[in-house]
Amino acid sequence: MADGVLSGLSVLVTRPAHQADALCRALEERGARVARLPLQAVEPTRHAAQVARVLQQWRDAQVWIFTSVNAVRFARQLDAGVWPTAAIAVGPATAAALQQLGIDPIVPDSHDSEGVLALPVLQQVRAARILIVTGEGGRDLLQRSLRAHGAEVERAEVYRRVHLPHAPDAVAAALQDIDVALVGNGEALQRLVTLTPEPQRAQLLRLQLVVPSLRVVEQATALGFARPPLVPDQMADSAFVRCLEQWYSTPTDERSS
């Protein structure tokens, strides 16, 4: 679409393939040229029976905390036969996934671990049983903080991220003429830097990044990215698109550099 609001902008989308279609379509409908380079695949846990038992054993927890849409999706696939009566969703996309299952979760104003910990429902947690439904690895801030305040906490790691291999030539081709890179987490950002051939490294570090959180902003700075990354106000496709539209509508000489 030559006359779209993002016409002339080239965007690299690094999301897992199954999560990228709607976002790529929205960007293309607004005139952007989109290149795809999925850096990770999301797969079910290799310990399905064990994790299903955790879900069953913690069905009476005061609250379940879902950290992502993938957490909802893969917990559902385990079909453990139990779902919480009280739940927290880290962001609106995760909340929407739970609402499709008939669960109306609490959503923090800040869509990260810090926002979850600031919720009124988690201010008095001594002796409370809390289940965190999440993926393998990642931050343990929720678990550590809740335990420090006296809660009994367990993690149900229902999925895992797997790095995808890319030949140097394929990465170099994906980066050609790119203006903006959308990166979904800190692990993916590190992977992008690692995969980028040395001749393209300087080009990569000059790109405008769009990242999910201030924590990944700090990581990007430490990795040497020259421009302050953009952070959408929500972890939703519409928020990523809106963030790019606002940035791209700013006169070039007024954009952060």
Could you write out the three-class secondary structure of 186-221?
Answer: HHHHHHHHHHCCHHHHHHHHHCEEECCCHHHHHHHH
Q: Which domains does the chain have, with CATH numbers?
A: 10-39+164-251 (3.40.50.10090), 43-162 (3.40.50.10090)
Report pLDDT digits (tens) over 159-218: 999 999 999 999 999 999 999 999 999 999 999 999 999 999 999 999 999 999 888 999
Report pLDDT digits (tens) over 222-254: 999 999 999 998 878 899 999 999 999 987 766
Distance between CA atoms of residues 67 and 246, nearest Å: 27
Cα maximum dimension of the chain:
59
Q: What are the backbone angles phi and psi of residue 21, rounded to the nearest 5°?
A: -60, -50
Give the tokens for residue 251: 């006169």
